[in-house]
Amino acid sequence: MNLVNTVIGYPYIGENREWKRSVESFWKQDVTEEVFQQQMKELRLDHIKRQKALGVELITVGDFTFYDRMLDLAVMFGLVPNRYEKLENPTNLTTYYAMARGSKDIVACEMTKWFNTNYHYIVPEYEGKRLHVTNNYILDNFIEAKVELDIVTKPTLIGPYTFVELSKGYDEKARVAFILELIPLYSQVINELVGAGAEWIQLEEPALTQSLSLDEVKIVQEIYKQLVESVPTAKIMLQTYFEALSAYELLSKLPVAGIGLDFVHGKKENMTSLRKFGFPKDKVIGIGCVNGRDIWCANIAAVSTEVQAVLKLSNVQNVWIQSSCSLQHVPVTTISEQSLDPVLRDALSFADEKIMELVQVTSYIRDKEWTGANVVSESILAIEALATHPVRKNQAVHTLLKSVSVTDFARAIPFKERQAIQKQALQLPEFPTTTIGSFPQSAEVKKTRAAWRKKQLSDDEYAEFVKKETARWITLQEEIGLDVLVHGEFERTDMVEYFGEKLTGFAFTEKAWVVSYGSRCVKPPIIYGDVEWKKPMTVKEVVDAQKLTQKYVKGMLTGPVTILNWSFVRDDLPRETVANQIALALRQEIKALEDSGIAIIQVDEPALREGLPLRKENWKQYLTWAVNAFKLATSGVQNETQIHTHMCYCEFNDFIEPIRALDADVISLETSRSHGELIHSLEKNPYELGIGLGVYDIHSPRVPSVEEMEGILTDSLAVIEKEQFWVNPDCGLKTRQEPETVAALKNMVTAAHKLRQRVYAIN
C-alpha cells in the first residue's frame, strides 16, 4: 500500500500573528511594497519548513493569501469589477486591497461566511467581461518552494464548481458562460503547474457536500470532464470537506486521480456510501480523519481503527491520511498556552499538534507501530482527565436546566401587541437611529487595557478610564443626533471573550488566534465545562451610561448561539445542551439589566447561521434548538422591554423563517455591502417585525455620502413599513477610526432625518 500524510491547508497567520502585522503595516504605508512582498515570502517559506519539520510528507502551497483565497482567484482570473477602474494610481495590490476593503470613493466587494465557519470570504463579481489569467500566483508559490527549499509541493486552489457557486453577478444563462470561460483558465493554471513539475494539484470543492440536484450533478460532471480532458497529464485530487460528498455514486466516478473525503463531519454518510457503492480502485482516497475544526486531542488509537475500517471498505492501494479540512480554522500551536489549567492544556490539539497526530496515525497504519512509547496511553489519559474534571460536574447548572418548561421559550404576548405597548412606553421618533453596539477602540483604549491586564493599572483606575471614555462617546452620540445610544463597549476586547471571562466553564488562551476576515483575528474561548451565571456582567457600565443622558441606552449582550459558534466547544455534550446552558446564564443577565431600568436590550446573533448543516434537508434540527436557545435567553422580559438582535451576512432570502421565529422586536441586518440584495429579498418575503437596515459598510474606511445612504433608505421604504423601520450601520464600529465613524454617523442621521421629513410631508 502506498500511504502518505498531508494537510489540506495550514494556518497562514503565523504563531504570533506575524502575517497580520505585516499586512497592516503595509496598509499604513509603514513599509514599502518591496519589503512587504519579502515579508510575505519569508512567512510562506517558514510555514513550509515548519510543516516539513513536523513530519508532513506532502506539503501544500496555495493555502497562503494576502487577504482571502477567493479574492486571490478572482484577481488571478481578471474578475475585477469595473468600478475599480476609477482608482487613482492603481497597482495590483492597491486594486486587490480596494476590492477587499474599499477605497475612499469605491465600495468593497461583498463579504460573507465561508460555508458554516466563522471565516468570511470576498465574493467574486462576474460582470460578463472577458476573463484571463493575469498572474499564476499558484505557480509562483510552487516554484518558490521548489527553488528555495527543494520541496515538490502539492498546489491547491478552490475548485471551479465551488468558485462559481460562491460568486455573484450572473443569472442562469450567464452562469453557463461563466463556467465555460473558467475551465480554460483552470486548465492553463494546472498545465503550467504540471510543466513546472507538480505531480498533484488539489482542487477544493466543499460545495460538493451541499445539497445537489441532478442538474447540478450533471454540471459538475461536465466541468470535470472538460477540465481533465484539457489537462490529461495532471493528477487532480478533488478535495471535499465540512460534510459528506453529495451524490456519491455519481461524483465518486468523476475522471480525477483522487478524491478526498471528510471522515469527521461527514463520517456517517461517507461510510454508508463506501459500504453501498465502494470506491474506485484506480483513485487515491484522501481520508480526512483528524478534525480540522476543533481543538481537542484525538484518541489516535481510535482514529487509526477508523482509518483501517475505511481502508477495508474502499480496498484501495493509494491513500492520503489527512486533516478533515484546512487547519486554518484552528490556532497554530499549543506551545504558548502555559497558563491554562494543565488538565485542559493536555487535552488540546492545535494545527501543529494535529499534524503530529496525523504522523502518528500514518506511522501505525504503515508500519504497525507508533513513533513514541507512550503516545497512545498519554492521549487517552488526557481525554479521560478532562472528562472527569470538576468543571464538568456543576450540579446547580444541571438542576436549572432540568427546571426549564415550554413557557420559558416564548414572550408573554405576540409582537403586534408588544409593538403598541413599546411605542407608547418608549416614545421614539419614526425611523429611529442607533448603532450596533461598539465604538472605535483607539490606541489609547488598547494601551490602557493592556496596562490593566499587566497589573500596571489598578481595577479602579481602569474602571475610571472606561467610564470617562464612555461619557465622551455618550456626548458624541448626542451631538451626532442618534436616537438610541450605546455605551460603546470600551471595557470589552471581544464580544464573546468578554462574557466568557465572567461565566464559569470557559477558558482563554494567550496566542490561540484564528482569522475571522482579512487581518481581523480572534481568539475563540474554549467552553470546556458547565456554563453558569455568577453575577451581573454588563449592568454597571450600561447603567452608568444611562445616567449621563435622557435618551435610551441599549443593554448589549452576545447571544447564546453566537457564543457557542464562536467558541471551541466541549465535545462530550450535545451542542444544544451547551447552548441552553449559555441561554440560561444570559436570561439572568437580561433580568438584571431590566431590573436596573434598561428598557432596550440587544442580544446579538451574528453567528446563528454558522452552525447550519450544509444541506438544507438537515437544517430543521439545528434551527429548532438554536432559535429556542435565543428565545430561552430573551423571553423572560416584560412586554415593555424591547429586545433587539443583530445579524450580518446571513443570506436573508433563505433564512427569513428562522429570523422571524426568533421573535425579536427589532433585528438589524447588513444591507450596504450586498448592494441592496436584502431589499430585493424583502420584496419577495415581507417581514412583519421591527427591522434595522445597515446602510453603510463598517468594514471599509470610506465615509459614504448622505445621498448614498438616503438612496438605500428610500429603496427600503418600498418594502418595509415605516412603523418597523430602524436605521443603523451594518455592524459594530470597534475596528474603525474615530473621525470616519463620526462623519459616517452624522451622514447616516442626516439621511434618516431627510427621510423622516419627506414621509411626514407626504402624510
pLDDT at position 610 is: 85
The kind and range of the H/E element at 287 are strand 284-290
The Cβ of residue 4 has, within 10 Å, a number of other Cβ atoms equal to 18
Confidence of residue 230 (pLDDT cuts 50, 70, 90): very high
DSSP H helical ranges for 77-133: 92-101
Q: Is the pLDDT of residue 453 over 90?
A: no
The residue behind cell 504522523 is 359
DSSP-based three-state secondary structure for 4: strand
Q: Which residue has the higher pLDDT, 369 or 598?
A: 598
> What is the β-pairing status of strands 520-522 and 514-517?
antiparallel
Q: How many angstroms separate the CA atoms of 276 and 284, rounded?
A: 19
Query: Is residue 520 annotated as involved in ligand binding?
Result: yes
Average pLDDT, rounded, for the chain:
93
pLDDT at position 422 is: 97
Q: What tens digit of pLDDT does each residue of 391-421 get?
A: 999 999 999 999 999 999 999 999 999 999 9
Query: Is residue 50 annotated as involved in ligand binding?
Result: no
**Which amino acids are annotated catalytic?**
699
Q: How many angstroms separate the CA atoms of 81 and 75, rounded?
A: 10
One-letter amino acid for residue 707 of the chain: E
Q: Is the pLDDT of residue 649 over 60?
A: no
Q: Measuring CA to CA, how many Å separate 177 from each of 58, 110, 127, 604, 645?
A: 35, 22, 11, 40, 40
Confidence of residue 652 (pLDDT cuts 50, 70, 90): low
> What is the β-pairing status of strands 111-113 and 120-122?
antiparallel
DSSP 293: S
Q: Is the pLDDT of residue 462 over 80?
A: yes
> Is 567 in contact with 525 (CB distance < 8 Å)?
yes
> Is 144 in contact with 45 (CB distance < 8 Å)?
yes
Query: Is residue 265 annotated as involved in ligand binding?
Result: no
Query: Is residue 17 annotated as involved in ligand binding?
Result: yes
Q: What tens digit of pLDDT does each residue of 546-567 get?
A: 999 999 999 999 999 999 999 9
Query: Is residue 677 annotated as involved in ligand binding?
Result: no
Q: 294, 292, 295, 393: which is closest to 344 by C-alpha?
A: 295
> Is 255 in contact with 224 (CB distance < 8 Å)?
yes
Confidence of residue 431 (pLDDT cuts 50, 70, 90): very high
The gap from C-alpha 370 to its chain's centroid, in whole angstroms, comes to: 36
Confidence of residue 287 (pLDDT cuts 50, 70, 90): very high
CATH numeric code, 2-390: 3.20.20.210
Beta bridge partners of 691: 667, 725
Q: Measuring CA to CA, how many Å separate 208 from each of 195, 244, 515, 562?
A: 28, 8, 24, 26
Q: Is the pLDDT of residue 650 over 60?
A: no
Query: Is residue 566 annotated as involved in ligand binding?
Result: yes
**Burial zone of 330 (CB within 10 Å; 0-12 exposed, 13-18 middle, 19+ buried):** buried
* Averaged pLDDT, 184-201: 98
Q: Where are the beta strands (DSSP E) in 95-177?
A: 111-113, 120-122, 154-158
Query: Is residue 494 annotated as involved in ligand binding?
Result: no
The Cβ of residue 28 has, within 10 Å, a number of other Cβ atoms equal to 8
The kind and range of the H/E element at 582 are helix 575-595
* 558: Cβ contacts below 8 Å, ≥ 6 apart: 495, 496, 498, 499, 603, 604
Q: Is the pLDDT of residue 500 over 70?
A: yes
Confidence of residue 715 (pLDDT cuts 50, 70, 90): confident
pLDDT at position 676 is: 62
Which set of grid coordinates corresponds to residue 63?
493555502
Confidence of residue 759 (pLDDT cuts 50, 70, 90): confident
Rounded to the nearest 5°, which phi and psi values hold at 676?
A: 85, 10
Query: Is residue 118 annotated as involved in ligand binding?
Result: yes
Which set of grid coordinates corresponds to residue 361?
496515525
Q: How many angstroms separate the CA atoms of 159 and 256, rounded?
A: 12
* Averaged pLDDT, 290-303: 96
Query: Is residue 437 annotated as involved in ligand binding?
Result: yes
Query: Is residue 20 annotated as involved in ligand binding?
Result: yes
* Averaged pLDDT, 271-281: 97
Query: Is residue 368 annotated as involved in ligand binding?
Result: no
Query: Is residue 670 annotated as involved in ligand binding?
Result: yes
The Cβ of residue 210 has, within 10 Å, a number of other Cβ atoms equal to 17
Q: How many angstroms separate the CA atoms of 100 and 103, rounded?
A: 9
pLDDT > 70 in the chain, percent: 98
Beta bridge partners of 669: 693
Query: Is residue 33 annotated as involved in ligand binding?
Result: no
Least confident of 286-295, 342-351, 456-465, 573-582: 456-465
Q: 610, 645, 644: which is closest to 626 by C-alpha?
A: 610
> Is 141 in contact with 62 (CB distance < 8 Å)?
yes
Which set of grid coordinates corresponds to residue 606?
451574528
Rounded to the nearest 5°, which phi and psi values hold at 76?
A: -60, -35
pLDDT at position 653 is: 62
Q: What tens digit of pLDDT does each residue of 100-148 get?
A: 999 888 989 999 889 999 899 999 999 998 999 999 999 999 999 999 9
Q: How many angstroms separate the CA atoms of 294 and 32, rounded?
A: 37
Q: What tens digit of pLDDT does each residue of 479-488 get?
A: 999 999 999 9
Confidence of residue 27 (pLDDT cuts 50, 70, 90): very high
Q: How many angstroms separate the CA atoms of 129 and 89, rounded?
A: 22
Q: What CATH architecture applies to the domain 414-440+554-762?
A: Alpha-Beta Barrel (3.20)
Which set of grid coordinates corresponds to residue 679?
431589499
Q: Is the pLDDT of residue 673 over 90?
A: no
* Averaged pLDDT, 491-515: 93
Ranges in the chain annotated CATH 3.20.20.210: 2-390, 414-440+554-762
Confidence of residue 657 (pLDDT cuts 50, 70, 90): confident
Q: How many angstroms separate the CA atoms of 56 and 422, rounded?
A: 60
Rounded to the nearest 5°, which phi and psi values hold at 525?
A: -65, 160
Query: Sign (positive/negative) of CA torsion 366, 371, 372, 375?
Result: negative
- Number of residues in the chain: 763
Q: Which residue has the higher pLDDT, 518 or 695?
A: 518
The Cβ of residue 394 has, within 10 Å, a number of other Cβ atoms equal to 17
* Averaged pLDDT, 319-324: 98
pLDDT at position 689 is: 94
> Is 140 in contact with 735 (CB distance < 8 Å)?
no
Q: 172, 198, 203: which is closest to 63 by C-alpha?
A: 203
Query: Is residue 731 annotated as involved in ligand binding?
Result: yes
Q: Is the pLDDT of residue 678 over 80?
A: no
Query: Is residue 610 annotated as involved in ligand binding?
Result: yes
Query: Is residue 497 annotated as involved in ligand binding?
Result: no
Q: How many angstroms separate the CA atoms of 344 and 474, rounded?
A: 41
Q: Where are the beta strands (DSSP E) in 600-657?
A: 600-604, 642-646
pTM of the model: 0.90
* 336: Cβ contacts below 8 Å, ≥ 6 apart: 15, 509, 510, 511, 512
Query: Is residue 489 annotated as involved in ligand binding?
Result: yes
pLDDT at position 398 is: 95
**Angle between helix 539-546 and 459-480 (nearest 10):** 40
> Is 542 in contact with 598 (CB distance < 8 Å)?
yes
∠ CA 615-619-621, rounded to 5°: 140
* Averaged pLDDT, 214-233: 97
> What is the β-pairing status of strands 520-522 and 284-290?
unpaired
